[in-house]
Amino acid sequence: MEPSLQIAVTDDYQQVAFQMADWSPIKKRASVTVLSDHVSGEKDVIARLLPFTILCVMRERTPLTRPILAALPNLKLIVSTGKRNASIDAEACAALGIELQHTGYLESGAPEMTWALLMAISRHLVTENMNFRSGQWQTTIGLDLKGKTIGIVGLGRIGKKIAQYAKAFDMNVIAWSQNLTKEKAAESGVHYVTKDDLFKQSDYITLHLVLSERSRGIVTAAELSLMKSTAILINTSRGPLIEEPALIDALLHKRIAGAALDVYDVEPLPADHPLRKLDNVLATPHIGFVTEETYRIFFRDTVQAIEQWLAR
């Protein structure tokens, strides 16, 4: 392989790619560039990625659409972290002769993050931590989880794990999705309800669906209007599952008690975005999968995929 071969690791926000795996075999044969800042405009993405033969893509941070891929004649291989990446046009890759590979993934991060947000917003942990640091003492009153109802939208692998967590906290667990049946719900010890009833009955609602054309915007102003004024909405799956303007409106006018969010329509979220300013929002910057164990799998598998490709 020519020593001029160029590889890019995109959107390594924490600049840890080289810490999480041994890249030395790759560096002997290619130039590896780590890109830690995010670029999203089509022209900017093309200009930045034009020199590279191999892209190591972190989840769904950089869009790789057909127009972008078609404008990258040097690109031969994309290694994407995780089992799927909706921001990459896989059909375009195949048509353009660009090989697309995926790494392994640790599935515990997302449900753990969901429960961390649920606990934190219930007990006002961020507010009370800030109080503690500023010299104040006990300004909020928390919520008990025992006896509360949690509604799970999507009872797949992550949704089932959330159901297990909830039952350990003595919560009532109900669920709905477009494909869920009473029998499937019962297998997980969960009570199946209609979509409307889930939004009406739940004290907490958490979303665990794969983003698709069918699931996009599955939570609209209509669903939000059914929620209790004391209810909390949690989303660690994908931002576009919820109609964002409707959510902001419901939060702004206190029609629901709050939201705990880790995902958004646009990421990174603009600095002046309304969600950054609402006092009933607990939000994190899409860190559900950002764990040391997950990153080690991501970058280890990325290096192995590149080594195998170079050995051909």
Q: CA 201 to CA 151: how far, in whole Å?
A: 8
Residue of 59, 124, 208, 286 marked catalytic: 286
Instruction: Determine the angle formed by the axes of helices 157-168 and 109-122, rounding to 10 degrees.
Output: 40
Q: CA 224 to CA 294: how far, in whole Å?
A: 33
Q: For the domain made up of 109-283, give the CATH fold.
A: Rossmann fold (3.40.50)
Active-site annotation holds for 286: yes
Query: Could you confirm whether domain 6-105+291-310 is CATH 3.40.50.300?
Result: no
Q: CA 160 to CA 190: how far, in whole Å?
A: 9
What pLDDT, on a 0 to 100 scale, did the predictor assign at position 247? 98
Active-site annotation holds for 238: yes
Q: Tens digits of per-residue pLDDT, 178-233?
A: 999 999 999 999 999 999 999 999 999 999 999 999 999 999 999 999 999 999 99
For the entire predicted model, the pTM comes to 0.92
Domain ranges of the chain: 6-105+291-310, 109-283
265: left (phi over 0), alpha (psi -120 to 50) or beta: alpha
Residue of 48, 112, 267, 296 marked catalytic: 267
Residue of 208, 238, 243, 244 marked catalytic: 238
46 pLDDT more than 70? yes
Six-digit token pair at 137? 């003492």
Active-site annotation holds for 267: yes
Whether 6-105+291-310 and 109-283 share one fold: the answer is yes
